[in-house]
């Protein structure tokens, strides 16, 4: 496979995984803003998914429709959901010979859906949850279409590498945004925020089944870092990255494969052999920054060794 094609497919997967993560987080934060009398505010998401100045963030944060517009539909915001979908579709268009027609159709439908005025009107006014749900469902359709129609060839491998690298980065960033919940002083005071964090990561139901008790910061952190059966845990995502990296062994130059495998294994080891006891207070922030840095090293290795960008 040409390096240009591999790069395009990889970024297609990253854009679409980022889109799903953003929509789920925005949906849950909107629900929290309506249900919680002491809602903690939109500022963290505006910092993460926007390009506004501090002054602009303070002006928009109290106005939920303005926040939703900026995060989801704003064509001037390079980090918006709209832009991720547009970039994903552009990438798919460029590699139509390497994806199935069903995958292309699902992305094309997604693009036309988010451009509909009725979707924006519903999301920004009438029923934001239903509007966001419609977009999320189209994303789920894309995921199922990839799973059920793509041949398990090199293109599929790079789709999966992009998907799980982006997921690991998104989970790391979500934990960094919420690291104040995991300090010793927050052990009993952050239950609503912990619940919404789990909802954002699609882990609330699994948490209840696994721990069968009240929400505790330690257990939430354990689930999101170490549970190998939880599809949005760091350990699961890194395990999948290693799995698909190993499928490149016979399709790569030995030195490129060994470097990529080493870097993924290094990040996985950092997570797998860390301990909850060492993730208290400021140590958690340093740990997450280290993991994020190691994930970016994986991305750089893919870019330079497999996509010819370095």
pLDDT digits (tens, 9 = 90+) for 125-184: 989 999 999 999 999 999 999 999 999 999 999 999 999 999 999 999 999 999 888 876
Give the closest residue to 152 by CA, choosing from 33, 242, 63, 244.
Answer: 244
Cα 33 to chain centroid distance, Å, stands at 21
Half-sphere exposure of 207 (CA within 13 A, CB side): 26
Residue 63 main-chain phi, psi, to 5 deg: -115, 95
DSSP designation for 278: G
3-state secondary structure of 7: helix
pLDDT of 208? 94
- Give pLDDT tens digits for 206-215: 999 999 878 8
Distance CA 12, CA 9 (A): 5
Distance CA 111, CA 115 (A): 7
Could you tell me the end-to-end alpha-carbon distance of the chain, in angstroms, rounded to an integer?
18
Look over the chain and give the mean of its residue pLDDT values, rounded to a whole number.
Answer: 93
Model's pTM, two decimal places?
0.94
Distance CA 305, CA 251 (A): 12
Helical spans, DSSP H, in 36-153? 43-49, 54-60, 64-68, 81-94, 101-114, 117-121, 128-149
Give the closest residue to 168 by CA, choosing from 227, 80, 236, 266.
Answer: 236
pLDDT of 188? 47
DSSP designation for 249: G
- Give pLDDT tens digits for 42-88: 998 998 887 888 999 999 989 999 999 999 999 999 999 999 999 99
- Give pLDDT tens digits for 89-107: 999 999 999 999 999 999 9
Q: Which residue's entry shows tokens 């303005």?
A: 66
pLDDT of 67? 94
- Give just the sign of the alpha carbon dihedral 274, 304, 146, 245: negative
pLDDT of 278? 60
5 token code pair: 């094609």
């Amino acid at each position: 496979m040409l390096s240009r094609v591999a790069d395009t497919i990889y970024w297609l997967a990253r854009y679409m995984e980022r889109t799903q993560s953003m929509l789920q987080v925005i949906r849950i934060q909107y629900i929290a803003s309506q249900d919680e009398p002491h809602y903690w505010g939109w500022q963290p998401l505006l910092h993460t998914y926007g390009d506004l100045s501090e002054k602009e963030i303070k002006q928009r944060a109290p106005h939920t429709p303005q926040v939703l517009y900026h995060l989801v539909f704003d064509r001037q915001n390079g980090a918006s959901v709209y832009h991720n979908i547009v970039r994903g579709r552009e990438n798919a268009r460029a590699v139509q010979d390497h994806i199935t027609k069903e995958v292309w159709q699902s992305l094309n439908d997604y693009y036309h859906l988010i451009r509909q005025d009725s979707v924006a009107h519903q999301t920004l006014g009438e029923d934001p949850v239903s509007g966001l749900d419609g977009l999320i469902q189209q994303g789920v359709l894309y995921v199922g279409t990839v799973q059920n129609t793509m041949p398990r060839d090199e293109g599929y491998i790079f789709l999966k590498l992009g998907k799980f690298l982006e997921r690991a980065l998104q989970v790391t960033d979500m934990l960094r945004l919420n690291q104040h919940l995991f300090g010793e002083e927050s052990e009993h005071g952050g239950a609503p925020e912990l619940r919404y964090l789990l909802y954002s990561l699609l882990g609330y139901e699994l948490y209840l089944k696994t721990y069968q008790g009240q929400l505790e910061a330690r257990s939430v952190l354990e689930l999101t870092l170490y549970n190998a059966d939880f599809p949005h845990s760091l350990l699961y995502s890194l395990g999948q990255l290693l799995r698909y990296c190993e499928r490149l062994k016979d399709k790569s130059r030995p030195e490129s494969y060994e470097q990529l495998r080493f870097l993924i294994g290094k990040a996985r080891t950092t997570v797998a052999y860390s301990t909850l006891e060492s993730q208290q207070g400021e140590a958690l922030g340093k740990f997450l920054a280290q993991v994020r840095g190691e994930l970016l090293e994986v991305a750089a290795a893919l870019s330079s060794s497999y996509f010819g960008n370095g």
